[in-house]
Amino acid sequence: MKVDLTKAKELLLKGNVVAIPTETVYGLGGWIGSEAGLLKIFSTKERPFFDPLIVHVSSLADAKKLTPEWTKAHEILGQKFWPGPLTLIAKKNDDLNPLITSGLDSVGIRCPNHPLTLELLKEIPGGVAAPSANKFGKTSPTSFLHVEDEFQKEVAVLDGGESSVGIESTVVGIKESNNEYQIEIYRPGSITASMIEDAFKGSPLKVTVTYEQSPVAPGQLKHHYMPKIPLVLVPPRFDWGKNAEKISLELKSSFKNPAFWSQPESAQLASRELYQKMREFDKEGFDIIITEIYPHHSQEEWRGIINRLDKAKSLRIKD
Ligand code: TXA
Ligand code: MG
């Protein structure tokens, strides 16, 4: 059900959850000062407690209040990319509710780039913890209607239109020793390793940026972001007629009504379409989704999209 800013604020402060729009995907928000609100995030999503949440804040100043160790690298990245689709991991303050961090000694922090949500966050002391507003393991929502569908209209939603980026934020960990910084990308997104490297040009800091396995296994489970019908990744110029039987055998089911998602040329457009298309195909009576993977998809800007496709897929057929 749709709520306005005033109502959203009231609900959050009373310990309820509210779905909030961001430029990446919609989040299911709970006030970090309310244990009841935090618990409702997990029960509404059916999310396991071992998967930590990202705290959303409206400014760099508020981010710094969540951590005793805001390094120079955090500051440079926050200045450069916030508000925006980048989550920074930092050592957590002792008083943060362990539900947020799953008992880890670090916390994920993000300042999202959406005018309505920024306005809301200014009114909520400390910040709002928010995972993507979908049932655990399923496709993330990028519009008000997606959230309504996901929770059968039972969750209060601040309607902020369609998410412009369309896939979740880039998540980075930062390690410092002797003034050298190791920046590890745990979840690829629209902000790439090169963009992060570029942010340090002209600064005296020594940084290396790499893609690494997340130290937190659960959010990075092998299967995630899954549509209701199987998604199959296939090589270019794929012939359904010639391959339908093989796919049926592999997936132990027969398919009569394939949907083909032809990915836009630009990574930016593809990420905006990705979850929208998966939900559309789920609803429109198709029984399988096919998408072709091209050589250009190995370029860096596609990394986030291919990562999501890979985790959402039921099968990949190589050349
Ligand atoms: O774009 C986004 O990040 C969206 C919007 C709503 O902001 N949120 C989102 O939240 O995608 P969620 O919970 O679906 O994914 C959060 C990811 C998980 O993979 C989790 O494991 C990781 O962030 N994460 C959170 N805290 C962490 C920490 N302290 N250390 C390492 N990874 C962490
Ligand atoms: Mg999620």
The pLDDT tens digits along the chain (319 residues) read: 999 999 999 999 999 999 999 999 999 999 999 999 999 999 999 998 889 999 999 999 999 999 999 999 999 999 999 999 999 999 999 999 999 999 999 999 999 999 999 999 999 999 999 999 999 999 999 999 999 999 999 999 999 999 999 999 999 999 999 889 999 999 999 999 999 999 999 999 999 999 998 888 654 567 889 999 999 999 999 999 999 999 999 999 999 999 999 999 999 999 999 999 999 999 999 999 999 999 999 999 999 999 999 999 999 998 7
Close Cβ partners of 11 (under 8 Å, ≥ 6 residues apart): 3, 17, 18, 156
**Which residues keep their CB under 5 angstroms from ion ligand 2?**
132
Close Cβ partners of 59 (under 8 Å, ≥ 6 residues apart): 111
Do residues 51 and 104 make contact, with C-beta atoms less than 8 angstroms apart? no
Neighbours of 278 (CB within 10 A): 26
Direct distance between the N- and C-terminal alpha carbons of the chain, in angstroms, rounded to an integer: 46
pTM of the full structure: 0.96
231 CA to centre of ligand 1 in angstroms? 23
Token reading at 49: 């407690």
Beta-bridge partners for 258? 288
Return the best residue to mutate from 42, 44, 97, 132 for the ligand 1 pocket (most ligand atoms within 8 A of CB). 132
HSE on the CB side for 279, CA within 13 Å?
A: 21
**134 within ligand 1 shell (Cβ under 6 A):** no
HSE on the CB side for 62, CA within 13 Å?
A: 21
